[in-house]
């Protein structure tokens, strides 16, 4: 996770990240170089998962529901095609 966050800070630029956080660019630089791994580990220990702003995040329960719906759809589709083939 540290590498991904570091890459994202580099893409956004430390100056822009500093503006978004309301701190100086040197503070962001210090966090990235000294504490980023610790910050990432702390977030993970607290149960947080980082995702890009445009990502769609879903729960395990919701994912299971989607899988069950997919199975139902595919089974119905297979049954339909089997009936069609028998005609």
Structural domain that includes position 82: 57-87
Together in a domain, 41 and 27: yes
Burial label, 28 (beta-carbon count in 10 A; 0-12, 13-18, 19+): buried
Residue 64's contacts (CB-CB under 8 Å, 6 or more residues apart) are: none
Together in a domain, 34 and 6: yes
Together in a domain, 6 and 43: yes
Together in a domain, 39 and 61: no
What is the percent of the chain where pLDDT is above 90?
47
pLDDT at 1: 65
Cβ contact 50:36 at 8 Å: no
Together in a domain, 67 and 27: no
Together in a domain, 15 and 40: yes
pLDDT at 73: 98
pTM greater than the 0.85 cutoff = no
Cβ contact 77:28 at 8 Å: no
Together in a domain, 11 and 27: yes
Averaged pLDDT score across all residues of the chain: 90
- Number of independent structural domains in the chain: 2
């Amino acid at each position: 996770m540290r590498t991904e966050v570091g890459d994202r800070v580099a893409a956004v630029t430390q100056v822009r990240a500093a503006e978004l956080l309301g701190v100086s660019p040197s503070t962001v630089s210090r966090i990235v170089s000294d504490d980023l791994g610790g910050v990432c580990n702390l977030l993970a220990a607290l149960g947080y998962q980082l995702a890009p702003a445009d990502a769609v995040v879903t729960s395990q329960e919701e994912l299971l529901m989607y899988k069950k719906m997919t199975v139902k759809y595919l089974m119905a589709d297979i049954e339909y095609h089997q009936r069609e083939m028998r005609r």
